Structure formats: structure tokens, C-alpha cells
Structure 1
């Protein structure tokens, strides 16, 4: 077992982007790319060189074939991925003038949320230094509660990382608010975007939000701030890093890429595997700066297409 392996649990989503050019009258042209926050993070981790295992429920439909090809082609281990009978989740995305995606989801009864405890059992103690999850798989039932149970069972053996990746059009914000304290109890690392913060705690400054989530149990809280970089708070000690100057094509997958860069750097520095007890502010700043570079390379190309290590 690789001593820096990270396990990612969660969904794959088919991101269907509206093509504004090329459609004939009376048609809607879509370009489908593999996505889903956890799957994006797994791909980015593997491309950076971190041994990565993805535990997901992947359909046998054409979208599922796309997901498997994308993940394995990026070097992700799918040995514990479930072959699901249900259909894949589909998100239709339209980009605004700033490259931000507005989604509509087709997710009822799809493969990603139908977890059983038996399907998740291989991820409980697989030798990984970190277990990362979040997004819709953690909040949608019946699977979300079972993933919470997985985090509780795995926590004595590994660092736990959570990215809520709030989707208010699909899940009511109050549902996230009710469950976030429990996620903070289970997580060593909580990574959110500024957009997530605005939904969860409207009008709250990032620093105050970090303190609130520290009090709930998360030692390390990182809030990504788009073109303003990122704020990281380790037990209340703040670190800020700028965002590299970048020509933005779209922002799809930027937060997932940041999370992957952060986890990759923390693993390479030897800080994963426990409660982040050896992490210093200098090491955290180094990790966040690297993560910002990974995210910058991702927003410079269409879709969730994170860089390979050699690209950096």
C-alpha cells in the first residue's frame, strides 16, 4: 500500500455544457464532460502524482463509461468502485460572461446516492492517509448518512477531509446548515468556497466563519475566495495566499482542483494520517500556494480538466 494514498468517496456527474454556437435552429447542442466534485478531486490528485483510490457508484450507461475512462486515464484506482444499476447523474450547465456555471440537475434516483454499508466497507480502513468526501453524496440520502458513518469509522485511522460544495438548487440550504456541525466534528479539514459561505452563513466574514467551524470541531478551515486567493485558518491562526494571475476560461472544477492541490502538498509534506498535529503555518501557506497554482491552471481551460504534475 502506498504510504501517501488518498481515498475519495463521492459522485460522478455528467456535466452537459450548452453550446451557444453550432446548434441548428430548433436544437439545443450540449457538450458532455465528466464531472462531479469528488471525482474531479480524485482526478486532480492522481494527475499530481498522489496515489488515489476513488470509491463511487458508477452506472453502466454511456455516461458511466465516460467516467471510468476519464478516471482510469488519469491514474485513479477504481478497484472499490461499485458497478451501479441506476442511471448516472446529469447536470446541464450554462456559462455566464465570467465563466461561472449555472446548473440544473437531473439527479432523482440516480446511482450516486444509493450507498449501502457493505459497498462502503472497503474504505473504512484501507491504509490511506486521508479520506476525502463531500458534495452531494454527503448530503443526499440514503447514502449521505452512511458516508457520515464511514467517516466516523475511518477517523481513528486517517485524516478526514470534507468539501460541502453547496448546491442550493438541488438541496435546501437549511439541510446543509443542520448537518454541517456534524461534518465539522468528523473532519480535520473543511474546505469551502466563498459562494458556499454566502449560502450557509449570509453576511458572515470568512474569519468569523472559520472560528465558528473551529468551535464545531474542524482544526483546519480553508475558504477559497476566487480571484482573491484563499484564507486558511489552523486552530484560529490565519494564513492568506493570493491567486495567480490567470485568464479565466471557466471556473468549473476550480475548487476541486484547489482541494486536490492542498491535499497533495500536505501528503507530500508528511502531515496526513492523523489530526494534523505536525502542521505549521509555514507548511500550510506552502500547501495553499501550491493549491492556488493548481486551481489557476484548471480555470484556464474548459471544464474540470486539472493539470498534470509536469504541467506545473
Structure 2
């Protein structure tokens, strides 16, 4: 079993349940652990894989809580850092269809310092980059780029998820695109929502999006399409893989659960690079990842709703 290193933010999601999509209407919030890379790490570990989270929390009660949750979910947090800055917060309002409205209050996540001692651990393992806050400057972006270089030089299998948040990049989307491109060019697996694929490719149709992104360098592409399933694409083949029908309550973390399940499976085989040329194996993996993503939408909050191995693979 290969280790999967998940790099990026961990934070507190304050969720307003069933109070309409607009946060201005919300009055009551429930505390939940979150942050896309942390969600992915928990998804992998909950399925029985080996995951290691690299990010930064505050030395406050929220930071202690988040590290406790990660440990409880059997995520290795030995490379997580602590800062005097307050732990990053996100306020999320969810409507009846599970759709969300976000507001971020950034704190400790941007204080992550690069640690040169981690480099060798990447060797022939898997490194996942979730970019919700990683391209917003500060120490996190510097560490993120240096870890990316380390992953490339250590022959790691690299996964990239842009985790685009419109409210973080309003009127600045071109900068986001520019910063994503080196990761798309060099990553072996890229996971996009349709909105992200359209933004980064400049195309509208999902298949056309894949063509442009493959030309940029992406080898394996998945575009998650909610209840419709996932478009799986390589430079030679494409296939639409359906999801399962569930009663959706909250879509938070569904994409993270999907990519976590995919990375768990990649870490379970001898050489994840073999999947680049084995489309049939990728189809089987994405089918299971669709199940994981769908099941996550049946509960509130990302980490509390992540499925177990038995739920996905039985």
C-alpha cells in the first residue's frame, strides 16, 4: 500500500443547514471539520488506505480539534504544522438541493512552511495537491510549489484538484488559471468539476475541455458531473461513467470523497502509473469512486459523511 500525501488547507466549516443558499439568510451554524485536502486524506484512511496530511492549523481550540479529528480518522498528521495565526474558517449555507454558498476567513492555512525533510518520503508514493487556497500567496503557495517540485523529482504519482472557489477569485480568474497550468501540465491525474474544466480550458463541452487539457499535458482526467456521473478521459479514450441514485442532503465533500476513493485504489495496486495505459482498470476505479462521492452527499458535512470500505466495495 502506497502512502498518499495530501497538501493544502484544513479548516472549520460552519454549516447553516436548510437555511437557503444565501448566507445572508442564515442564523444558525454547526461546526464541522473541512478543507478539501484534509477531506481527501480522511476519505483515503477511512477506506483503509495510508494518508498523510501536510497543512497548517492555529494553536487554538479549533486547530486542536481539527488535528484530533484527523487522528481519529487514522490520518498521519506528523507533518502538519501549527501557527500563532487563528485556524482558517469557512461559512457554508446549504439549500434544499444540497447546493452551497461560501465565505472564507483565512488564517493559519496560509502559514504553512516548506519542510525539506518531507521530500524523500514522496519517493514512489502518491502526492495530492488540492488548491482551494494554495494559490492565494503567502507561505502556503511557496511551500506548495516547492512540494510540487519535490514530487516531480521523487518519481511520485501526482494528482491535482484545482478546488476553484469563485468568491476567492472574483475578477482575478486569469491569475488562477495561470497558476494552475504548471500543475495540469505535469500531473498524472487531474480531477475537475465541469465549471473548473470550462474555466481552465476555455471550452464549454466536457469532451472539448478534456482535449484542450490533454494537450496541456494532463494524462488522466476526470470531470465530475454530480448525479450524472463522471467523464473519464485519457488522450486516447473517453467514457461517461454513471453514478448511483441517492437522496442528496449536502454536496460538501462529494468531490473530495470521489478523488480520495480513486487515490485509495491507485495506492492499492503495485504501480499507479500503469493505469495511464489501462483504461479498463480506470473505468472500474472511477465506478467505485462515483459510489463514494454519491454516498457522501447523504449526510451533512464532509468528513462525518465519508463512506467506509464496506459501503463502497461490498
Tell me the TM-score normalised to structure 1 length.
0.90
1:60, CA displacement in angstroms?
A: 1.6
Deviations 1:127-184 (A, max 9, x none): 4620001222431212224312211222232101110010110123222211222111
How many corresponding residue pairs? 300
CA distance in 1, matches of 2:208, 2:282: 19
Match of 2:125 in 1: 129
Match of 1:220 in 2: 220
Match of 2:284 in 1: 286
Match of 2:87 in 1: 88
CA distance in 2, matches of 1:128, 1:139: 26
CA distance in 1, matches of 2:201, 2:266: 28
Given that residues 57 and 88 in structure 2 are in contact (C-alpha distance below 8 angstroms), is that contact kept between their aligned partners in structure 1?
no
Partner residue of 1:16 out of 9, 14, 38: 14
Match of 1:308 in 2: 308
Given that residues 131 and 161 in structure 1 are in contact (C-alpha distance below 8 angstroms), is that contact kept between their aligned partners in structure 2?
yes
Q: Residue 86 of structure 1 aligns to a residue in which SS?
A: coil
1:110-149 equivalent positions in 2, closer than 5 A: 110-117=107-114, 119=115, 121-126=116-121, 127=123, 129-142=125-138, 143-149=140-146
| Pair 96,20 (structure 1): closer, same or farther in 2 beyond 3 Å | closer
Q: Residue 7 of structure 1 aligns to a residue in which SS?
A: strand
Deviations 1:40-84 (A, max 9, x none): 000000001111111111212122122112111110001111122
1:1-312 equivalent positions in 2, closer than 5 A: 3-19=1-17, 28-107=27-106, 110-117=107-114, 119=115, 121-126=116-121, 127=123, 129-142=125-138, 143-156=140-153, 157-171=155-169, 172-201=172-201, 204-272=204-272, 275-276=273-274, 279-304=277-302, 305-312=305-312
Tell me the TM-score normalised to structure 2 length.
0.89
Task: Give the stretch that moved more between structures: 279-288 or 60-69.
Answer: 60-69
Q: Residue 97 of structure 2 aligns to a residue in which SS?
A: coil
1:260, CA displacement in angstroms?
A: 0.5
CA distance in 1, matches of 2:198, 2:181: 17
Given that residues 148 and 183 in structure 1 are in contact (C-alpha distance below 8 angstroms), is that contact kept between their aligned partners in structure 2?
no
Given that residues 7 and 55 in structure 2 are in contact (C-alpha distance below 8 angstroms), is that contact kept between their aligned partners in structure 1?
yes
1:280, CA displacement in angstroms?
A: 0.6
| Pair 48,286 (structure 1): closer, same or farther in 2 beyond 3 Å | same
> What do you get for the CA RMSD once the two structures are aligned?
2.0
Match of 1:24 in 2: none
In structure 2, stretches of 5+ residues that fail to align are: 20-25
CA distance in 2, matches of 1:279, 1:257: 24
Given that residues 198 and 206 in structure 2 are in contact (C-alpha distance below 8 angstroms), is that contact kept between their aligned partners in structure 1?
no
Q: State the 4+ residue runs in structure 1 displaced beyond 3 angstroms.
A: 198-203, 275-279
